[in-house]
Amino acid sequence: MAAESSLLNAPPAAPYKAVSSLVKLPDFIPGLGQLFVDPDTLPAGPFLGYGHDGKLVSTTYMIPLSVMKPDMDLNDLKAPAGTVDHVDVMYNAGHPGVAEPHIHVVLWNVPAAQEGRVAK
């Protein structure tokens, strides 16, 4: 439980590092927040997303399309901290850190009405 509580507020404990310190991305990404990741889990993550208030908002997995297979099971993705309220899945054509096309699986810790905390 102590490990989980150390992830509820930014910055999270080691081994997590700010994504902006690892790849050429801004400190705060609209729609995802301030992202932290354990570099050993790249490119998939989980990426912890924090709002401007430093509170955990979501956990995002970035799954390259090239590794997706018909029998691939994404049913057991975990949020390292907090409770998952709902899930979004979005296509992304690529960006620094995950240059190839991939999907973002976002496990939201906040209700949909509060997603605006990371909108801009």
Give per-residue pLDDT as tens, 94-118.
888 888 999 999 999 999 999 888 8
Give per-residue pLDDT as tens, 53-107.
999 999 999 999 998 898 888 887 888 998 999 999 999 998 888 889 999 999 9
Tokens standing for 1? 């439980």
Domain range list for the chain: 2-118
- Measured distance CA(49)–CA(75) in Å, rounded: 21
> What is the reported pTM?
0.90
- Measured distance CA(87)–CA(70) in Å, rounded: 21
All residues at 6 or more sequence positions from 66 whose CB lies less than 8 Å from its CB, including other chains: 100
CATH code reported for the domain at 2-118: 3.30.200.270
Give which of 60, 73, 66 is closest to 100, Cα–Cα.
Answer: 66
Tokens standing for 86? 């709902």
